[in-house]
Chain A
Amino acid sequence: MPILEVNNIETFYGGIQALKGINVHVNEGEIVTLIGSNGAGKSTTLKSISGLAKVKTGSILFKGKETMNKPVHETTLLGMAHVPEGRKIFSTLTVKENLLMGAFSVNNKQLIEERMEIVFGHFPILKKRLEQKGGTMSGGEQQMLAIGRALMMEPELLMLDEPSMGLAPIIVEQIFDIIKKLNEDGITILLVEQNAYQALNIAHRGYVIRNGEIVLSGKGSELIENSEIRDAYLT
């Protein structure tokens, strides 16, 4: 059953059309990846889903409900979390405050504590750095914090925008491992990546986006073998 259905959306930035009719769906429990080159519209797709970008036409159904062009703070309440490109840690806030911001809509202190423990389960390092300022951590730690912060919302759908960006390959592997594990724990994941090879490796399904359009889709393992994709994105 699809948890997210994106039907034929078109999004404009100023006068420029960034998305020219994107169709994507994500089933519950899947890892779906969206690959494509810089500027192809990957991030815009995520932004359109979470409401950061204004969609002109189409429809976005989350858990069967229309969420298109709802304010961001409302869509996120429905159970989707969006980890933005470049991590976007609140740099002068402490790790703890960052995590608390993730749980902004929760007023139950105990619930917050419980969720925090779950996050620490995934990222033990964060527990040690609780009072440190977010901006002083390394890139990999920041990415973990960003994911941890999103997990504080207890999302059903986790959207990750280029989590491997600018990280050392070893860290990248760790991050992908964590993504896999989160999925195993029952979180549906929509992953946007430029690192197509690794993304397709862990994904159940994948979409290739080019110039604001989906040009290919299929199972992750199939796409990885596709020669066209090899030429365009795996080199």
Chain B
Amino acid sequence: MLLEMLQSLPQVLIDGLALGAVYAVVALGYTMVYGILQLINFAHGEIFMTGAFIGTAFFILLMGMGWVSSVPQIVVLIVVLVVTACLTGLLGMGIERVAYRPLRNAPRLIPLITAIGISFILQDVIRFIAELSSGNYIVTGPSLFTNQLTINFSSISSIFNDASFKTSFLIVLVTAVILMISLDYFINRTKWGTAMRAVALDRETASLMSINVNKTISITFFIGSALGGATGVLFAVQYGTIDPFIGFILGMKAFIAAVLGGIGNIRGAMLGGILLGLLEMFASANLSLLTGGVFGAEYKDVFAFSILILVLIFKPEGLLGKPTAEKV
């Protein structure tokens, strides 16, 4: 049993990393918004999904143009990533403007409800756009970066099997890492990033520093949503097939990742995402082995949610979060 688990471990790690990278970048968006507004932007998963659709639409469009085929795929990807990120960023800003800003002083429950509402609307709007244009809302984009690569883990030790992956895996991973590092730099080293942290701590005082709070929040939403949208494109590249409902569960998982790492904490979100991806992949590959077939891969979501609940109970501030006590 252990042997079998070890054999598949390299492949599980790689697949888990790909999934975890997606979780991590989506989790970043959650964490940023939560950090500043203490709001769970439920619609974030749908922004991710919208990004996946916009990206796929662009790919299909671009691939349809003859001259594009002579352009390296990586260039096409970068163009699509940038354009999609901008569009979803604007979408995120719009959502904030319409659905959250008027409610900034409302009870906490209310913006959460609009967030759920927005996410339903986005799902359905994307669904009927997709259905109108292609007759089916399950959309498959062009295959990109499909070269197979293999790492010979077996040469390291005969216990391991070789692990293989597509080039797209590398692209997802590299892009995710670049996004995470640049976000971390942006938040911690630049003026606007510092302003965001200041706004997060104290909106009133930040405004006294002549920081435009609304603009800062809009920028936060723009960046968070752009990240979400870009991840959507990466998802579409990695998995090929998308539908309007991918955002909901994935968004949920990303939120779990954010909480796992410590919500409001950028590095925590990254850690949480990667960790959740790895755990989930491990669970679906090995649960039935571990339990002698009683609990199979279908329990992996139970596994993920249980981890969340355990973390919340024993370390509510998350792995990298710092405890805060309510002032009485």
Nearest CB of chain B from residue A30's CB, rounded to whole Å: 22
Report if B147 contacts A (CB, 8 A).
no
Cβ of A88 and Cβ of B202 under 8 Å apart?
yes
**Minimum Cβ distance to chain A for residue B152 (Å):** 46
Q: Which residues 174-231 of B have a CB within 8 angstroms of A?
A: 191, 194-195, 197-198, 201-202, 204-213
**B208-A81 in contact (CB<8A):** yes
Size bracket of the A interface: 20 to 34
B167 to chain A, nearest CB (A): 40
Name which of A72-80, A136-144, A198-206, A224-232 contacts chain B: A72-80
Q: How far is the CA of A153 from the CA of B206 in the complex (A)?
A: 13
Nearest opposing residue in chain A for B197, CB measure:
A93
Identity of the chain A residue whose Cβ is nearest the Cβ of B205 in the assembled complex: A88
A84 to B195, CA, bound (A): 18
Select from chain A the residue with minimum beta-carbon distance to B213. A73
Decide: B212 and A71 in contact? CB cutoff 8 A: yes
Known interface pairs A52-B207, A84-B204, A91-B201; A73-B194 also in contact (CB < 8 Å): no
The reply to whether B211 and A73 contact each other, CB–CB distance below 8 Å, is: yes
A72 contacts B208, CB within 8 Å?
Answer: yes
Tell me whether A82 and B208 are in contact (CB under 8 A).
yes
Residue of B with least CB distance to A82 = B208
Q: Is the CB of B208 within 8 A of A84?
A: yes
Chain A residues in 8 Å Cβ range of B204: 52, 72, 84, 88
Does A175 belong to the interface (CB within 8 Å)? no
Q: Across the interface, which residues of B come within 8 angstroms of A221, CB to CB? A: none
Of all chain B residues, which has the CB nearest A77?
B210
Report whether over half of chain B's contact residues are helix, strand or loop; otherwise say mixed: helix
Shortest distance in angstroms between A200's beta carbon and chain B's nearest beta carbon? 26
How many chain B residues touch A (CB < 8 A): the figure is: 17
From A2-10, A33-41, A96-104, A123-131, give the one contacting chain B. Answer: A96-104
State the CA gap A184–B211 with chains docked (Å).
Answer: 29
**Is A92 part of the contact surface with B, judged by Cβ < 8 Å?**
yes
Q: Are B201 and A104 in contact (CB under 8 A)?
A: no
> Assuming A52-B204, A84-B204, A90-B202, is B197 touching A104 (CB within 8 A)?
no
CA distance A72 to B202 in the complex (A): 14
A76 to B212, CA, bound (A): 11
Q: Which A residues are CB-close (under 8 A) to B198?
A: 90, 93, 101
User: B194 and A93: CB pair below 8 A?
Assistant: yes
For B206, the closest partner residue in chain A by CB is: A101
Given A71-B212, A91-B201: A101 in contact with B207 (beta carbons within 8 A): no
A17 at the interface (CB under 8 A from B): no
Q: Say whether, besides A73-B213, A100-B191, A104-B191, A92 and B197 are in contact (CB < 8 Å).
A: yes
Given A84-B205, A88-B202, A93-B201, verify A101-B194 contact (CB < 8 Å): yes
Taking CB atoms and an 8 Å cut-off, the chain A residues in 137-164 that contact chain B are: 149, 153
Min CB gap B219→A, angstroms:
13
B89–chain A nearest beta-carbon distance, Å:
22
- Interface residues, chain B, with chain A CB atoms under 8 Å away: 191, 194-195, 197-198, 201-202, 204-213
4 other A-B residue contacts (CB within 8 Å) besides A88-B202, A101-B198: A72-B207, A73-B212, A84-B208, A90-B205
A-B contact pairs, 23 of them (CB 8 A): A50-B208, A52-B204, A71-B212, A72-B204, A73-B212, A73-B213, A76-B209, A76-B210, A81-B208, A88-B204, A90-B198, A90-B201, A90-B202, A90-B205, A92-B197, A93-B198, A101-B198, A102-B209, A104-B191, A104-B195, A104-B211, A105-B210, A153-B210
